[in-house]
Amino acid sequence: MQETSAAEGRPFGMAQGPLIRGASIAALVAAVVIPLVGCDTGPDSFFGKPGDAACPRPQIATGVAAQFNTQQLEIRTLRRRGFTGDFFSQLELARRYEGQRAADKNLEDQVEAAVWYAVALSNGDGYAPISAYGRRSPQGEQKAVARYDDCRAVERGLAYRSLDRLLSQMSSEEQDKVRARVIYVLSTQGAAGYRTLARMHDTFFGPFGEPSDNPQAAQARGKPYKPGAPQVLNLFPRNDVDAYLYNYLAVQTGDVGAYVMLKDFERSSPARAAAGQFVEAKAKRWIPPYEFYPPESPSSGVPHSDESDQISDAQQFALSRIRELPFVHIGEALAYLRATPRTIHTEEALYPQEVQDFQARIGRPQTGVLTPIEKVRVIQYAAVNGSPKAQLVLAVMYAEGVGVPRDYARAFHWFAEADRQGSAEAKYAMSTYFSLGVAGVADQDKAKAVVYQIDSALSGFKPSVSRLQQVLAQVSRSPRSAPRDRDYAR
């Protein structure tokens, strides 16, 4: 008895010209379409059972042929994309640093892997529906519209489990480092990042700011008889003060949506509204955990690259003013970091190799020429490594908006750091410029409550302005004589 096709009603063994041609066309269409809809291998498709397929990874275009430093170029490309919010680049970074592939074992860094898993989980692109119209199951549950949603759900589930496993193997110090780096990455995203941080501390949302009914968040929370991801839940403890703080910081960026969210937050509970005055004072002193991303190098020798070069208009304007900073301060910072044998006073006196060595140290492209952002990084890197001169210069840069956007909390922080190291100029600034009181910075850690009023100083309060100018003159004074040629010979 001959078998027949259920679709055609013809024997399978018979030569069917049209059928063969149809199969060929179908194969051709599949060969073209499937790569274009790579995420259609998720649940509900005929390629596998639900939950066993993840989204394909994006291509990493480095612009060069395969070479010995291809891995380094790929990591830098992924980090730049990750800082600007690319969900898949964030996931890929996490997997690279986790060393899932044999080729990435030299990159293995549990802290860095956990950072990028956490950043990816906080990314709204990982759970926001693609379509405005949802479909509901027979039980009335909202379901994804596109299979793209499905494969992202798989990715998030895997990320939650991987992050929980990584955190369970860490010391409390390493977990603190993960937390601080996630806060820094999100703070570089402005209002959107601060709003995400607010949701991550708000009990009304999931562990990473997703909707409370998000399936992956619910699985991470678990049930009394079935624990979810306890280490993940402890990474960002829920509390109203931090939730309020980050909402407030988002509002300070001028974002209208953040203002609406803050008011909703205040109305949600009388206790939350009552904390407003305390949080406002705390927000005026808040600074990110890092000056810029820690340029540490794992055993691979591939340093953690700097954040994305996509900067805001305010940052661009501040960078355009870096030329106002006498180069001698950059030269002193380079000498402090031992990037040059001794202090030099002009940019032309720098050897390209010295610049390349510094660029490699902070994970920047090794061009041999300092860009404006790299000149800022020289001062910042020397400051975070303990140079009192660089700390003082950085404080003035923040106070004046030179190279970095004006930020009075950070200005105060670096004046205080230099003061602690015995800088006479910083001590003078602390005792005059700040002691008169400047709106915007409050130091509640000192025994005496002093309100600092930098805004007044910079908008015409003559005693403060005159004293501030003296500080700037001290910091920015040029050397008596600058050599015409190279300051030293090789």
Are the beta carbons of 127 and 157 closer than 8 angstroms? no
- Does 103 lie in the same domain as 88? yes
- Does 389 lie in the same domain as 269? no
- Does 259 lie in the same domain as 172? no
Look at residue 248 and tell me if it is in a domain: yes
Look at residue 481 and tell me if it is in a domain: no
| Residue count (the chain) | 490
Q: Which two tokens stand for residue 186?
A: 């999100």
- Does 243 lie in the same domain as 233? no
Look at residue 486 and tell me if it is in a domain: no
Look at residue 223 and tell me if it is in a domain: yes
The whole-angstrom separation of Cα 268 and Cα 67 is: 56
- Does 455 lie in the same domain as 367? yes
- CATH for 332: 1.25.40
Q: Which two tokens stand for residue 105?
A: 């074992």
Q: Cα dist. 238→128, 200, 280 in Å? A: 22, 7, 19
pTM of the model as a whole:
0.75
- Does 443 lie in the same domain as 416? yes
- Does 253 lie in the same domain as 231? no
Which of 336, 428, 435, 434 is closest to 388 using CA atoms? 336
Are the beta carbons of 307 and 83 closer than 8 angstroms? yes
Place of tokens 């922080």: 413
Q: Which residues contact 274 (CB under 8 A, 6 or more apart)?
A: none
The whole-angstrom separation of Cα 439 and Cα 435 is: 12
Q: Angle CA(328)–CA(329)–CA(334) in degrees, nearest 5? A: 95
The number of angstroms, rounded, from the C-alpha of 257 to the middle of its chain's C-alpha atoms is: 21
SS3 content of the chain, % helix, strand, coil (to 5): 55, 5, 40
The whole-angstrom separation of Cα 379 and Cα 417 is: 14
- Does 214 lie in the same domain as 171? yes
Indicate the angle between helix axes 70-83 and 87-98, nearest 10 degrees.
Answer: 140
Look at residue 6 and tell me if it is in a domain: no
Q: Angle CA(248)–CA(217)–CA(238) in degrees, nearest 5? A: 40
Look at residue 16 and tell me if it is in a domain: no
- Does 173 lie in the same domain as 97? yes
Q: How many CA atoms lie within 13 A of 50 on its CB side?
A: 5
Give the pLDDT of residue 443: 42
Q: Angle CA(91)–CA(92)–CA(96) in degrees, nearest 5? A: 120
Are the beta carbons of 144 and 131 closer than 8 angstroms? no
Give the pLDDT of residue 253: 81
Give the pLDDT of residue 309: 66
Give the pLDDT of residue 486: 39
Give the pLDDT of residue 404: 93
Place of tokens 């489990």: 161
Structural domain for 256, as ranges = 239-283
- Alpha helical stretches, state H, 57-171: 70-83, 87-98, 110-121, 147-168
Are the beta carbons of 229 and 222 closer than 8 angstroms? yes
Place of tokens 């395969």: 66
The number of distinct structural domains making up the chain is 3
- Does 244 lie in the same domain as 115? no
The whole-angstrom separation of Cα 170 and Cα 178 is: 10
Give the pLDDT of residue 143: 55
226, β-bridge pairs: 223
User: What does the pLDDT profile of the chain (490 residues) look like in tens digits?
Assistant: 444 444 434 433 344 444 444 444 444 434 433 333 334 333 333 333 444 467 876 676 555 545 567 888 888 889 989 998 999 999 999 999 999 888 888 889 999 999 999 999 999 999 987 654 445 555 555 555 556 677 889 999 999 999 999 999 999 999 999 999 999 999 998 889 999 999 999 989 999 999 988 999 999 988 878 888 899 999 999 988 898 889 889 888 887 777 787 888 778 777 777 777 778 878 878 899 999 988 876 666 677 876 766 677 888 999 999 998 889 999 999 999 999 998 888 999 999 999 999 998 888 888 999 999 999 999 999 999 999 999 989 998 998 889 999 888 888 889 889 888 887 777 766 665 555 444 444 443 332 223 333 333 333 334 444 555 555 555 544 444 333 333 433 3
Three state DSSP letters for 292-335: CCCCCCCCCCCCCCCCCCCCCHHHHHHHHCHHHCCHHHHHHHHH
Which letter, b or e, does each residue of 99-122 get, where b requires 16 or more Cβ atoms within 10 Å of its Cβ? beeeebeebbbbbbbbbbbbbbbb
- Does 229 lie in the same domain as 82? yes
Q: Which two tokens stand for residue 204?
A: 């009304």
Look at residue 23 and tell me if it is in a domain: no
Look at residue 22 and tell me if it is in a domain: no
- Does 267 lie in the same domain as 177? no
- Residue after which a domain boundary falls, among 202, 237, 272: 237
Which letter, b or e, does each residue of 12-33 get, where b requires 16 or more Cβ atoms within 10 Å of its Cβ? eeeeeeeeeeeeeeeeeeeeee
